[in-house]
């Protein structure tokens, strides 16, 4: 099973990805966690991406694709993955599909965790990671999501590979909804 979680900053992608990965025995791959690890360790990738992250902008595609190649290949070989945080644009999805399709490791189903904007803002303020979650950065991050990532929903919907769940509910209910959607997709042989 190869699943992508799509959701705005604060939608709970990381929390849900970890829970779904445990439930189905998948590897959770978070591009955000990988990027933060590279920044913290001062790697070449980390030094390249630090300024993008500080501004709340998207990191260039080539850097992300390079960083994700090994984890995606390893996870696909060991039962599948749940990907959180990439792709974030239609261009990234198309580029990832071209590479992953050739290798047989492409996303089989995208799950959109939909949360109202006011709830996202409340969650991000409550999370408070210092400068990363200041009012102006939060506003910018949500605008970038709306402009760049929201078109992904149409991209996956056109391919009949998109399900949407209400992410504004309690965490356990959101997890249950995603599990039900993935089990339904499995029965229809959309994922394996």
Whole-number mean pLDDT of the chain? Answer: 89
Return the structure tokens found at 98: 């071209």
Binding residues: 10-15, 31, 36, 57-59, 85-88, 92, 127, 141, 169
Percent residues over pLDDT 70 in the chain:
97
Binding residues for AMP: 31, 36, 57-59, 85-88, 92, 141
Among the listed residues 72, 64, 84, the one whose alpha carbon sits nearest the alpha carbon of residue 17: 84
Residue 132: pLDDT band (50, 70, 90) is low
Check whether 165 has a pLDDT greater than 70. Answer: yes
Among the listed residues 117, 111, 96, 170, the one whose alpha carbon sits nearest the alpha carbon of residue 10: 117
Q: Give the mean model confidence (pLDDT) for residues 174-187.
A: 95
pLDDT computed for residue 85 by the predictor: 84
| Alpha-helix residue ranges (DSSP H) falling in the chain | 13-24, 31-41, 44-55, 61-77, 90-103, 117-127, 135-144, 151-158, 171-187
pLDDT computed for residue 59 by the predictor: 84
pLDDT computed for residue 131 by the predictor: 58
CB atoms within 10 A of CB 176: 15
Residue 81: pLDDT band (50, 70, 90) is very high
Percent residues over pLDDT 90 in the chain:
53
Check whether 169 has a pLDDT greater than 90. Answer: yes
Binding residues for ATP: 10-15, 127, 169
Residue 75: pLDDT band (50, 70, 90) is very high
């Amino acid at each position: 099973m190869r699943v992508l979680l799509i959701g705005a900053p604060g939608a709970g992608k990381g929390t849900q990805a970890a829970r779904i990965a445990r439930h189905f025995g998948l590897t959770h791959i978070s591009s955000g966690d990988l990027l933060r690890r590279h920044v913290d360790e001062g790697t070449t990738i980390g030094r390249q991406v630090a300024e993008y992250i500080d501004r709340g902008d998207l990191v260039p595609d080539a850097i992300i694709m390079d960083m994700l190649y090994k984890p995606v290949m390893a996870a696909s070989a060991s039962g599948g993955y749940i990907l959180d945080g990439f792709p974030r644009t239609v261009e990234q999805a198309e580029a990832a599909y071209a590479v992953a399709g050739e290798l047989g490791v492409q996303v089989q189903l995208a799950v959109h965790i939909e949360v109202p904007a006011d709830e996202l803002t409340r969650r991000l303020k409550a999370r408070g990671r210092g400068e990363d979650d200041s009012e102006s950065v939060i506003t910018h991050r949500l605008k970038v999501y709306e402009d760049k990532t929201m078109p992904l929903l149409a991209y996956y919907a056109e391919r009949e590979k998109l399900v949407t769940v209400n992410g504004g509910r309690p965490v356990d209910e959101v997890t249950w909804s995603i599990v039900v959607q993935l089990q339904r997709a499995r029965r229809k042989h959309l994922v394996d």
